[in-house]
Amino acid sequence: MNPYEMTDKAIATEMGERFRQLRLRKNITLEQLSNRTLISINTLKALERGKAKLETMIGVLRELDALGELDNLIAPVEISPIQLIKTNAKKRMRARPAKIITKLTDWPDQW
């Protein structure tokens, strides 16, 4: 599968099919999975069609003992030791737009 050559819908469908294959490989029916995860059968069917919420995917991965696959989906961001020292071990919480000087009082005195 080359996701760069696929539409978003095609990728979602492929992921749903992979959830279905994982469930079948573990020999678990939709009804059994529904009972174990407390997720409705219709929601599980939607997941297998590629239409599900992230919480549903996580719950199913947890029950199918495949939660570790999330690292393959999006790898954790690694920070170099030097960058860690520069940021004083502060974890970045959000992006901030660049500051734009809009007032004359914001300009340096030397100008």
Predicted local distance difference test score (pLDDT) of residue 13:
95
Class of domain 1-111: mainly alpha
The average confidence (pLDDT) of the chain is: 84
pLDDT at 1: 74
Q: What is the DSSP string of 91-108?
A: PP-S--PPP---SGGGS-
pLDDT at 22 over 90: yes
- Span 92-107, pLDDT tens digits: 667 777 776 565 555 5
Domain chopping of the chain, boundaries: 1-111
Amino acid at 14: E
What sign has the CA pseudo-torsion 5, 9, 24, 33? positive
Reported as a single tens digit per residue, the pLDDT across 36-54 is 999 999 999 999 999 999 9
Buried-exposed string 45-57: b where 16+ CB fall within 10 A, e elsewhere: ebbbebebeeebb
What pLDDT does 64 receive? 95
